[in-house]
Structure formats: structure tokens, C-alpha cells
């Protein structure tokens, strides 16, 4: 086997291994995320707030922070 053919075959093998690894990792991440318990959900809402829409901005109220 010549040197260029050997280098090409090694590159093909490495590319194949990388493709297989990517497929295996993506398949593992695609599973459904676990559901949160009520205690976890309550703690999350307490820390981050609820996902409700923000109240409308009153007339004359500044939108920028006062730093």
C-alpha cells in the first residue's frame, strides 16, 4: 500500500468513527426530558417567577433601568 493510500484510508476511518459517535450522541440527547415534580416546579416559579405575560407599561413610565 502506498503512503497516500494509507493516509487516505486512515482519514476515511477517522471520519467514519466521528460520524458514528455523532449519531450515537445525538440519539441519546433526543430522548424526552424528565418531567418536573410539583415541588421542583414550585421552587422554579418562586426563583424565576411565573411564565405569565408582563403587565403593560404605564404611560410615562421609564423602560430603562435607573443606574
Asked whether residue 11 is assigned to any structural domain, the reply reads: yes
Check residue 29 and give its pLDDT: 65
Q: Which domain holds residue 34?
A: 3-46
Element (H, E) at 18: helix 3-29
Asked whether residue 51 is assigned to any structural domain, the reply reads: no
Asked whether residue 53 is assigned to any structural domain, the reply reads: no
Give me the mean pLDDT over the 14-21 stretch: 95
pTM, 2 dp: 0.43
Question: Could you say which DSSP state residue 50 is in?
Answer: -
Contact 44, 36 (CB under 8 A): yes
pLDDT, tens digit, 9 for 90 and up, residues 23-65 = 988 876 666 667 888 898 888 888 887 767 777 777 777 777 6
Question: Number of structural domains, the chain?
Answer: 1
Asked whether residue 27 is assigned to any structural domain, the reply reads: yes
Asked whether residue 24 is assigned to any structural domain, the reply reads: yes
Asked whether residue 36 is assigned to any structural domain, the reply reads: yes
pLDDT, tens digit, 9 for 90 and up, residues 3-15 = 999 999 999 999 9
Asked whether residue 35 is assigned to any structural domain, the reply reads: yes
Asked whether residue 30 is assigned to any structural domain, the reply reads: yes
* Nearest residue to 41 via CA among 32, 50, 33: 50
Amino acid at each position: 500500500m502506498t503512503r497516500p493510500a494509507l493516509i487516505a484510508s486512515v482519514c476515511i476511518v477517522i471520519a467514519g468513527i466521528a460520524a458514528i459517535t455523532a449519531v450515537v450522541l445525538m440519539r441519546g440527547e433526543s430522548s424526552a426530558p424528565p418531567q418536573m415534580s410539583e415541588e421542583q416546579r414550585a421552587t422554579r416559579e418562586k426563583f424565576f417567577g411565573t411564565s405569565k405575560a408582563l403587565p403593560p407599561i404605564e404611560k410615562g413610565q421609564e423602560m430603562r433601568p435607573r443606574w
